[in-house]
Amino acid sequence: MYGKTSQILNKFWNTIIVGMIPLNIAVMFCSVMLLGCADTSEKKIKIGLSISSLRVERWPKDRDHFVAEAEKLGAEVIVQSADEDERKQNEQVENMITQGVDVLVVIPQDSVASAQIVKAAHAEGIKVIAYDRMIRESEPDLYISFDNERIGYMQAEYLIKHKPKGNYFLLGGDPGDNNAHLLRKGQLRALQNAIDNGDIKFVADQKHWAVKWDPLDALNKTEQVLTQTNNQIDAIVASNDGTAGGVIQALQGQKLDGKVLVSGQDADIAACQRIVKGTQTMTVYKPIEHIAKEAAQAAVALAKGETVQNADQTINNGTTDIPSILLTPFQVDKDNLDDVVIKDGFHTREKVYQTE
């Protein structure tokens, strides 16, 4: 940047000399140029983006869109993934604080352990955005996500509409992720009437969660429940597409894939292909580019000490009300895959309809 400025200055001097402009005018112009230099050499905003893990398909997309938008706004981003280790995440963020980040954007591995991040950042006057997942027991400056309770509602509502009676298995996400609890809340709300009427019955108690959203854990838990119930399951409310993959693999083992309804979330490519094939019933699409761009814009605003324009509501995180942006998710099945997911450019038609 400095090289470019001095090139401009040189050119300017040449023009002045060639044009034989009196020295006092030249000096005046030069001062103006130097003032200009002071502007362009202003310190770049440094954003720390701490990601719990990059394993699930969506997260590298979140990262890439976030970084692209932040850079477009003139900021620099330090990105680190904690590989699903909450202690590692806290250490990485401490390191980012030492490196002098102006603002932190955190996708927490654990909604409570990450409170430490908020406290450490605030002690240094650094603002924190909880990205997609809420941070509890602390006061993050902004929460940006999709409406997760609504996503849970959409998942169960779709299944109950297509299988109004029968045996249901509820498989939650990672219990350390606040979203898993919001999803469950929405799922239970959608199923409440059918539970009260006795139209549906839970085949296992409600304490089933896929630890760390692990598809293998989802597979094992589904196998156990299939064994316990002698395969008497009609619908499985899986909380995301990764775990739906594990569920469907367990169903395949019993030749029940395509017969038992299965929900999901994220519109992962494998899930879209399963929807086409008929082994997964539905998913929930969340435009990742949208959340990533909003978050990058908010991060830059907070770093500049500005208020975040779109934070038009508050969500209580168990400690206090957090200014929030909640984006809209979309229910997707085989009938609107094209119109929602493909039309939005999330996946190509070729890939979604690709047959093995």
How open is the CA angle 77-82-88, to the nearest 5 degrees? Answer: 115
- Residues between 117 and 136 with contacts to ligand BGC, criterion CB under 6 A: 132-133
Please report how close the Cβ of residue 70 comes to ligand BGC at its closest, in angstroms.
21
> Can you tell me which residue has the tokens 């324009």?
309
Query: Smaller CB distance to ligand BGC: residue 69 or 214?
Result: 214
Site residue total, ligand BGC (CB under 6 A): 11
Question: CB of 100: closest distance to ligand BGC in angstroms?
Answer: 29
Least Å distance between CB 145 and ligand BGC? 7
User: How far are the Cα atoms of 76, 122, 300 from residue 306, in angstroms, in the given order?
Assistant: 18, 17, 9
Query: Collapsing DSSP states into helix, strand and coil, what is residue 355?
Result: coil
Least gap, CB of 291 to ligand BGC (angstroms):
10
CA distance 247 to 256: 11
**Kind of pairing, strands 261-262 and 313-316?**
unpaired
- In the bound state with ligand BGC, the residue whose beta carbon lies nearer, of 89 and 265, is 265
In angstroms, give the least distance from the CB of 173 to ligand BGC.
6
Check binding of 149 to ligand BGC (CB under 6 A).
Answer: no
Closest Cα to residue 109, out of 101, 117, 100, 97? 117
Among 49, 56, 154, 325, binds ligand BGC (CB under 6 A): 56
Taking CB under 6 A as the criterion, which residues in 57-76 touch ligand BGC? 58
Helices (H) and strands (E) in the chain, counts: 13, 13
Pattern of binders to ligand BGC over 252-281, x per CB under 6 A? -------------xx---------------
Amino acid (1-letter code) at residue 36:
G
> For ligand BGC, which is the closer residue by CB, 166 or 245?
245
Of 300, 312, 285, 266, the C-alpha closest to 129 is: 300
Of 126 and 267, nearer to ligand BGC (C-beta) is 267
Cβ nearer to ligand BGC, comparing 220 with 231? 220
Q: Among residues 190 and 194, whose Cβ is nearest to ligand BGC? A: 190
Minimum distance between the CB of residue 36 and ligand BGC, rounded to whole angstroms? 45
What is the C-alpha separation between 196 and 173, in angstroms, rounded?
25
Closer to ligand BGC by Cβ: residue 175 or 258: 175
State which residue, 279 or 283, has the beta carbon closest to ligand BGC: 283
Stretch that binds ligand BGC, among 7-15, 116-124, 136-144, 172-180 (CB under 6 A): 172-180
Residue listed under structure tokens 């990742």? 288
| Contact call for residue 240 and ligand BGC (CB under 6 A) | yes
d(CA 211, CA 206): 14
Choose which of 209, 213, 285, 330 interacts with ligand BGC (CB under 6 A): 213
Please report whether residue 217 would count as binding ligand BGC according to CB under 6 A: no
Residue 187 or 240: which CB sits closer to ligand BGC? 240
- For residue 266 the two structure tokens come to 């994220």
List the x/- string, 173-212, binding to ligand BGC by CB under 6 A: x---x-x---------------------------------
Instruction: Output the smallest distance, CB 265 to ligand BGC, in A.
Output: 6
Distances (CA, A) of 343 to 140, 265, 291, 349: 35, 18, 18, 9
Distance in Å from the first CA to the final CA of the chain? 50
CA 44 from chain centre, in angstroms, equals: 25
**Token couple for 224:** 């156990």
For residues 222 and 170, what is the distance between their CA atoms, to the nearest angstrom? 10
* Helix runs in the chain, H state only: 2-18, 23-40, 58-72, 86-98, 115-123, 148-162, 178-197, 215-228, 241-253, 269-277, 288-303, 337, 349-352
Binding residues (CB under 6 A) for ligand BGC: these are: 56, 58, 132-133, 173, 177, 179, 213, 240, 265-266
